[in-house]
């Protein structure tokens, strides 16, 4: 009786690249880095972000038709000011708010917000509870100035006496001078 003892197949010597040396790791990282660099330079990227066109007139006509409010929009702003958003939504205390936002030439944000008979609670919320620091005159109106340094936000507020009037707020991270310029250019919407 003969026993056939099979020998396991002989193993071939492991490749020198499979041995896991530090030099092999560095070579692998260089190759991967090269691929990443090629991908980085092949994929196009935008250098600037363009602001989409905003249709203030369409929403403005709808708001005036629905509410009969004498809403305002800026007109004749200097070059470089661009409309960035417009909306009419409920806000603090259930008040409906007409909002039109603009980007200044130096990339700051300034907006006008208007609501009928704005309450003190609404003004506090929209100014981020900023302290009143004084007044300015712009566009033939006196505006209360609110400055909040912690979270940069400046605001101008015009609240006519009595009821049945729009409370107008000009607010954003623009300077008080930017807001005053913006307020000077506010005119009744005539869409």
182: CATH: 3.30.200.100
Q: How far apart are CA 167 and CA 129, in angstroms?
A: 17
Q: How far apart are CA 108 and CA 153, in angstroms?
A: 11
Cβ neighbors of 149 (< 8 A, separation 6 or more) are none
CA triple 133-136-137, angle to 5 deg: 165
CA–centroid distance for 177 within its chain? 20
Q: Tell me the average pLDDT across 166-176.
A: 95
Report whether pLDDT(170) > 80.
Answer: yes
Q: DSSP secondary structure string, 113-175? A: EEEET--HHHHHHHTTTPPEEEEEEETTEEEEEEEETTTTEEEEEE--SSSS-EEEEEEESS-
Domain identity same for 88 and 174: yes
Lowest mean pLDDT among 33-42, 100-109, 164-173: 33-42
The pair phi, psi for residue 53, each rounded to 5°, is -65, 135
Domain identity same for 63 and 41: no
Cβ neighbors of 171 (< 8 A, separation 6 or more) are 110, 111, 113, 126, 127, 153, 154, 155, 156, 179
Domain that holds residue 23: 12-45
Report whether pLDDT(141) > 60.
Answer: yes
Confidence of residue 53 (pLDDT cuts 50, 70, 90): confident
Domain identity same for 34 and 80: no
If we measure between CA atoms, which residue out of 56, 77, 89, 68 comes closest to residue 183? 77
Residue 164 resides in a domain:
yes
- Residues 71-95 pLDDT 10s: 999 999 999 999 999 999 998 888 9
How many Cα atoms occupy the beta-carbon half-sphere of 10 within 13 Å? 2
Domain identity same for 61 and 154: yes
Q: Which residues pair with 74 in a beta bridge?
A: 186
Report whether pLDDT(5) > 70.
Answer: no
Q: Sheet containing 82-90: give its strands across.
A: 82-90, 96-103, 109-116, 166-172, 153-158, 141-148, 132-138
Domain identity same for 104 and 131: yes
What is the number of domains present in the chain?
2
Instruction: Pick the more confident residue, 47 or 158.
Output: 158
Instruction: Look up residue 191 and give its two tokens.
Output: 């869409």
Domain identity same for 33 and 119: no
Residue 3 resides in a domain:
no
pTM tops 0.85, yes or no: no
Q: Tell me the average pLDDT across 12-29.
A: 74
If we measure between CA atoms, which residue out of 180, 29, 51, 13 comes closest to residue 112? 180
Domain identity same for 41 and 63: no
- Residues 94-104 pLDDT 10s: 899 999 999 99
Report whether pLDDT(51) > 80.
Answer: no
Domain identity same for 174 and 82: yes
Report whether pLDDT(115) > 90.
Answer: yes
pLDDT value for 13: 67
């Amino acid at each position: 009786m003969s026993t056939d003892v099979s020998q396991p197949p002989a193993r071939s010597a492991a490749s020198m690249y499979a041995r896991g040396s530090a030099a092999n790791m560095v070579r692998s990282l260089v190759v991967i880095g090269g691929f990443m660099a090629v991908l980085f330079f092949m994929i196009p990227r935008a250098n600037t972000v363009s602001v989409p066109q905003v249709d203030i007139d369409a929403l403005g006509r709808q708001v005036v038709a629905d509410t009969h409010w004498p809403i305002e929009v800026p007109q004749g702003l200097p070059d470089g000011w661009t409309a960035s958003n417009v909306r009419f939504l409920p806000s603090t205390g259930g008040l409906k708010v007409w909002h039109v936002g603009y980007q200044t030439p130096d990339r700051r944000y300034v907006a006008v917000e208007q609501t009928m008979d704005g309450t003190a609670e609404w003004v506090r919320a929209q100014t981020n509870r900023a302290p009143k620091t004084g007044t300015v005159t712009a566009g033939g109106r006196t505006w209360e100035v609110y400055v909040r340094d912690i979270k940069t936000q400046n605001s101008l507020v015009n609240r006519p006496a009595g009821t049945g009037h729009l409370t107008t707020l000009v607010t954003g991270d623009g300077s008080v001078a930017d807001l005053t310029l913006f307020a000077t250019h506010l005119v009744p919407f005539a869409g």
